[in-house]
Amino acid sequence: MAAPEFVTLQVEDGVGTIRLDRPKMNAIDEQLHREVRAAATEASERADVRAVVLYGGERVFAAGADIKAMSQLDGAGMREWGRELQDSFRAVARLPKPVIAAVTGYALGGGYELALCADFRVLGASAKIGQPEIQLGVIPGAGGTQRLARLVGPAKAKDLVFTGRHVGAEEALEIGLADAVVPDDEVYATAVAMARKFAAGPPLALAAAKRAIDEGLDGTLDDGLSLESRLFAELFDTEDQKTGMRSFLESGPGKATFSGR
């Protein structure tokens, strides 16, 4: 694959920032979402990345899909395009590390669907989010009907999808679409600070916890409990478990330094 043009992965102190930079509004076209997929894959594989921040810059997260490109497609073409887009977003959602979306300005349509792939969302005070696809005669096609409903429940998801309305930061926080609202110029720093806290934790246990929660939601309670039990037991074959429990017994909680092995 050629060197990325619109998406970079920058790593510092255990935190990898997946940075979108496609002027002017980070519209999501085929090239951008494939570059997001590549960055997510690299972040998954790199041991020096222990947590990830998704960031679109100081002015905008991502204003949605590239409507001009999409408008030229028929159903067959959109099935292929949509499958590739979902694969790219799935790579972000399945990152085995904590992921925080740092949202400034607009995160609409595909932009908010990308933010939904994160574990947490930090919004700037003037941010606007939403799923406006209904206003174009279509529906969200990259997880907006599914991840949104799992996040806030079916009724709130239907309100947002049926109306296509924009939601301000404070309402987003109130109904669970955002996890924190901060001044616009503090969005990225806040997300990085959150990521650094996770980056200090045990990587294998964090990956297991994320998998247990995410995959458990898609099955029955009994299936989820079985998955949890298996992942819990597997961690007892790791160096981090030995380190964590020895540190607890010798020094009390919260003092361990984990190797990720």
Q: Which residues are catalytic?
A: 113, 133
The residue type of 37 is R
Q: What is the CA radius of gyration of the chain?
A: 19
Contacts of 220 (CB under 8 A, 6+ apart): none
Q: Name the nearest CA neighbour of 65 among 22, 8, 104.
A: 22
- The residue written with tokens 């810059």 in the block is 57
Beta bridge partners of 121: 101
Beta bridge partners of 16: 11, 52
Q: Name the nearest CA neighbour of 18 among 38, 2, 3.
A: 38
